[in-house]
Amino acid sequence: MTTTQVDETANHPRRLIGLEAVHNFRDLGGYPTADGRSTKWRTLFRADGLYRLRGEDDMSRVKQLGLRSVIDLRTEREQREQGIFPTDDIEVTFHHLSIVDVTWSDTETPVFDDEVEFLVWGYRDMLEIGSGRFADAMNVLAQSKSLPAVFHCAAGKDRTGVLAALLLSSLGVDDAHICADYGLTQDAVQRSIAWSKVHRPELAERYATIPKAYLAADPRAMQIILAELAQQHGSVRNYVREIGVADATIDALGNLLLETR
């Protein structure tokens, strides 16, 4: 498949769930797999800060998706300060699976001249620290009662991006499509910045002061991570097995998330 075809698949018109206050809510359907199938539409979603879901139009649009589960990958501090998905208004099973103990903004992080180097460092750290929680999330999503489901963090970029990569790769989606999907967050960050300037000045101020690398979503970083996992473990699927996701669970994910042949 050519680069153009990969980009067209990632930018499919069904991909982005257009919302006013949530800017990176995306469908993970439509990605081809090595065995000739593709991921199902309207079954699994990735997103950014779902605590911002409050407006009538946004709430109505999300209700139409028929979500059964929400997996929040943020820390307890983020939940406490920002809030959570509006479980009082939309009935779901809510799972809190914090990938890291503290965010990059809450601790000293290494200084890198290159944004890709910074992201690779951060994702390696997440895979080491949060492996058990990534496995927990995959185990939740392998249950039919959990779907349709959405998983999210703050920007829907890093913790969410790594989990999406592990899931898609385990299902047989190739690296090119995974990296293209990851890169879609670049536009979402710009949408979020533009929205914050109008509706959330305090958030806009934070965007203006945090290191530029924190907002980056360069597909090259995800490609490096995927290549490292394949080199060190034989495949991403092998890595997923090693962190606690059984073969039966991976098979269940395929049965639930892939179109039948």
Per-residue confidence (pLDDT) for residue 250, from 0 to 100: 98
Q: State pTM to two decimals.
A: 0.96
Query: Pairing state of beta strands 69-72 and 93-96?
Result: parallel
Least confident piece of the model among 4-18, 95-109, 161-175, 195-209:
95-109
Sheet containing 93-96: give its strands across: 26-27, 44-47, 149-152, 69-72, 93-96
Helix (H, G, I), strand (E, B) or coil at 139: helix
Judge residue 254's burial from the number of C-beta atoms within 10 Å of its C-beta, 0-12 exposed, 13-18 middle, 19 or more buried.
middle
Per-residue confidence (pLDDT) for residue 101, from 0 to 100: 85
Where do the domains of the chain lie?
Answer: 3-101+111-257
Cβ atoms of residues 14 and 29 within 8 Å: yes
In words, the CATH class of domain 3-101+111-257 is alpha beta
Average pLDDT over residues 5-25: 97
Strand-pair partners of 33 = 173
Per-residue confidence (pLDDT) for residue 107, from 0 to 100: 67
Average pLDDT over residues 153-182: 98
Percent with pLDDT over 90 in the chain: 89
Structure tokens at 27: 């469908």
| pLDDT band, residue 245 (cuts 50/70/90) | very high
Is the pLDDT at 162 greater than 90, yes or no? yes
Is the pLDDT at 110 greater than 80, yes or no? no
Average pLDDT over residues 118-129: 95
Q: How far apart are CA 233 and CA 226, in angstroms?
A: 11
Is the pLDDT at 131 greater than 80, yes or no? yes
Q: How far apart are CA 218 and CA 239, in angstroms?
A: 23
* Average pLDDT score, the chain: 95
DSSP code at position 239: H
| pLDDT band, residue 234 (cuts 50/70/90) | very high
